[in-house]
Amino acid sequence: MGSGPGRAQAPAIDEWHGNGSGPDMAGIMVELAATLGSVKQALDGDRARKPKIPWEACHPVSPQGAVVLTAGAGTFLQPDLMGPTTMYWWDLREITVWGFTAGSVTVFKNSTLGEQVAVFNTPGNFTWSGQKFLRPDDDLKVSATGITGNVQFVVEAIEIETAWLAEYLL
């Protein structure tokens, strides 16, 4: 490295020996301390970044079951298992059904005469790209007709305590 206007010259090797205080050592130590301080601050910030919603108030649920069939038809009715209780909402993510080779499976909300949430003519899964919510005390009904085989299912959802719903939606 040559010398000239605007170019600093590196200290000679023997200037770095001895007590470790070369001509730029004080500046390097100050810069190192500042860098370590900013690294510590970033790490402390990461530690402080705990989830805003506690696990007890927002967590995955995955009820599963099988439809009991009589002459190839049946309905799974368990409101206490298939929907949120009074204090919670469910953000539905996926419903998967399997085990049958013919017939259809329909998932309803609250009543087998009500809103259809998903329909399966073959085993598979139904996934929402947007949010599909079940309100407190809503539930899913899994109804099967014309079935050859059996019907098993699993529901994937996030259960959110009502008090934390606004935070969850942000």
DSSP code per residue over 39-88: HHHHHHHHHH---SS-GGGEEEE--EEEEPPBTTBEEE--TTTSS--TTE
| pLDDT, average across residues 157-161 | 97
Residues 6+ apart with CB under 8 A from 140: 82, 83, 95, 107, 108, 109, 117, 134, 155
Q: Which class is 57-169 in CATH?
A: mainly beta
Does the pLDDT of residue 33 top 70, yes or no? Answer: yes
Domain edges within the chain: 15-48, 57-169
* Mean pLDDT score across all residues of the chain: 85
Q: Write the pLDDT tens digit of every residue in 56-111.
A: 999 999 999 999 999 999 999 999 999 999 999 999 999 999 999 999 999 999 99
Which segment, 5-9, 45-49, 74-78, is predicted with the most confidence on average? 74-78
- Using alpha carbons, list the distances in angstroms from residue 98 to 20, 119, 155: 72, 13, 12
- The answer, yes or no, to whether residue 11 has pLDDT greater than 60, is no
**Res 134 pLDDT > 80:** yes
Secondary structure letter of residue 7 according to DSSP: B
